[in-house]
């Protein structure tokens, strides 16, 4: 199987693909509103610590499994622990990213809707109330969100069916540098707005009284979501990385890019939120309410600059979402191709149908299905809560336990140190091993229970 398998071209391609998975709506849509809801700078500090000491070891654990076996989630665990129950973890991680994909595609669709609006009529509402009700009206109407959800998912299907090298790698190589350029441009603009200073202060001056157990759990959960952990996407992408590649360098590169992007996105959004006088704790609608308002205000002064920035912004969000969504899609495709022997094309179609249906239900749960509740939550919120609070943390826990306690230490060391050839990696192996075996599992169990009881 290894011989026929596709590979990313080299380290840059691998980092771009992994960063493409990591950088997405999590950074631009979720991170700013989590910062706003959970205490500004204090949240960011915990988030940075969580990324370094918790997410890096988990990321590496997943990457080691994929890279060692060059197989998708199910096959990888079956290969490393044949005949055991571990393969069920593989199966769980085939489904978790597909559930995320379903509702992610709905938000990806909204972004396409806003991109479309920025390209056609633009944004003109002069008060925030009108902007908020336009957002509420848009997401609750059945037709357009469904249409855009379909367009988004179809786009993913086209890229994924083209394959790892000519689809996923090529797409990420072009879009990732573009995304960085765009977000830096938007941040520069946002920082130049009158009133932006307050937003900057909010992001850099911590108020330590905001550090509560649920803020810590939220920061850890956000780092899981942002780095695509615990659902087999990192494992699957790492399985396309060449044998001789340095997993630690690739992992640190990816985490570094993801963090940098989240911070830049924070500095792009928060100053604009404060400049517009919007409540930073507004929740999931934050960017979809703040930005159109800013664009409308700006448009009243200099219409063409506003129109261009609006298009660039929504373009950035749509492409960032695409590169992440294809990584979730690929987990399911890899499973169907490798384990069920389906053609890549058929696998793509099958996953399209399944995720389209669940996504449509999530989309309709803002309108006609608003009364349908699962454990008191709408279908959309249920899928989000189930995956980000439980399946991701549970999957992450099982991955670290597998690598730290089940796999042979010599094999893990061999993978981590590139067969003993990297002196730096050899020097930090013991620290990694400690974080992996003790710190990560305990921290994950704590997040899990905090999420459960909070
Ligand atoms: N990391 C992605 C983001 O930040 C989301 C994601 C979650 C991608 C899980 C793949 C798997 O938007």
* Ligand 1 mean position, distance from CA 156 (Å): 14
- The rounded mean pLDDT for the chain is 89
Domain boundaries, the chain: 11-453
What's the pLDDT tens digit per position in 370-425? 999 999 999 999 998 899 888 998 999 999 999 999 999 999 999 999 999 999 99
pLDDT band at 153 (very low <50, low <70, confident <90, very high): very high
Alpha carbon nearest to ligand 1 atom 10, residue: 228
* Ligand 1 mean position, distance from CA 277 (Å): 30
What's the DSSP call for residue 210?
Answer: G
* Nearest atom in ligand 1 to 258's CA: 4
Q: For residues 387 and 175, give the distance between their C-alpha atoms in angstroms, rounded to a whole number.
A: 27
What's the pLDDT tens digit per position in 183-212? 888 888 889 888 889 999 999 988 888 888
CB count, 10 Å around CB of 147?
15
Check residue 454 and give its pLDDT.
65
What's the pLDDT tens digit per position in 98-131? 999 999 999 999 999 999 999 998 888 778 788 8
What's the pLDDT tens digit per position in 27-86? 988 999 889 888 889 999 999 999 988 999 999 999 999 999 999 888 899 999 998 999
* Ligand 1 mean position, distance from CA 328 (Å): 8
Domain covering 11-453 in this structure, CATH number: 1.20.1740
* Ligand 1 mean position, distance from CA 416 (Å): 24
* Nearest atom in ligand 1 to 23's CA: 4
| Ligand 1 pocket, residue 21 CB under 6 Å | yes
Alpha carbon nearest to ligand 1 atom 9, residue: 228
* Nearest atom in ligand 1 to 27's CA: 4
| Ligand 1 pocket, residue 39 CB under 6 Å | no
């Amino acid at each position: 199987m290894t011989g026929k398998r596709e590979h990313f071209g080299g380290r840059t391609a691998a980092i771009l693909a992994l960063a493409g998975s990591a950088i997405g709506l999590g950074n631009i849509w979720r991170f700013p509103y989590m910062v706003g809801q959970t205490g500004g700078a204090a949240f960011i500090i915990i988030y940075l610590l969580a990324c370094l000491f918790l997410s890096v070891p988990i990321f590496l654990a997943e990457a080691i499994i994929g890279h060692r076996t060059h197989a998708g989630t199910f096959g990888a665990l079956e290969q490393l622990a044949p005949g055991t129950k571990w393969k069920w973890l593989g199966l769980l991680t085939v489904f978790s990213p597909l559930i995320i994909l379903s509702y992610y595609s709905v938000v990806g669709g909204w972004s396409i809707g806003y991109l479309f609006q920025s390209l056609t009529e633009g944004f003109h509402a002069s008060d925030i109330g009108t902007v908020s009700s336009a957002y509420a009206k848009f997401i609750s109407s059945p037709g357009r969100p469904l249409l855009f959800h379909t367009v988004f998912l179809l786009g993913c299907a086209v890229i994924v069916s083209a394959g790892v090298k000519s689809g996923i790698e090529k797409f990420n190589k072009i879009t990732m540098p573009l995304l960085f350029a765009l977000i830096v441009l938007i941040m520069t603009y946002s920082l130049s707005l009158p009133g932006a200073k307050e937003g900057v202060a909010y992001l850099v001056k911590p108020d330590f009284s905001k550090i509560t157990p649920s803020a810590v759990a939220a920061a850890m959960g956000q780092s899981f979501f942002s780095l695509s952990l615990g659902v087999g996407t990192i494992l699957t992408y790492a399985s396309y990385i060449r044998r001789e590649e340095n997993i630690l360098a690739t992992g640190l590169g990816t985490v570094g890019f993801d963090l940098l992007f989240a911070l830049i996105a924070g500095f792009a959004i928060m100053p604009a939120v404060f400049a517009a006088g919007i409540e930073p704790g507004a929740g999931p609608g934050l960017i979809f309410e703040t930005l159109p308002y800013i664009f409308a205000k700006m448009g009243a002064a200099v219409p063409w600059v506003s129109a261009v920035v609006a298009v660039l912004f929504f373009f950035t969000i749509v492409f960032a979402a695409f590169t992440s969504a294809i990584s979730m899609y690929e987990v399911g495709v890899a499973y169907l191709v490798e384990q069920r022997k389906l053609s890549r094309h058929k696998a793509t179609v099958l996953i399209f149908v399944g995720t389209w249906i669940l996504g449509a239900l999530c989309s309709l749960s803002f309108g006609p299905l608003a009364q349908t509740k699962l454990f008191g939550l709408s279908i959309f919120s249920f899928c989000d809560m189930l995956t980000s609070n439980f399946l991701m943390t549970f999957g992450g826990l099982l991955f670290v336990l597998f690598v730290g306690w089940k796999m042979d230490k010599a094999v893990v060391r061999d993978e981590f140190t590139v067969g003993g050839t990297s002196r730096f990696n050899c020097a930090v192996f013991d620290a990694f091993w400690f974080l992996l075996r003790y710190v990560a599992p305990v921290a994950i169990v704590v997040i899990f229970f905090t999420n459960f009881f909070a």
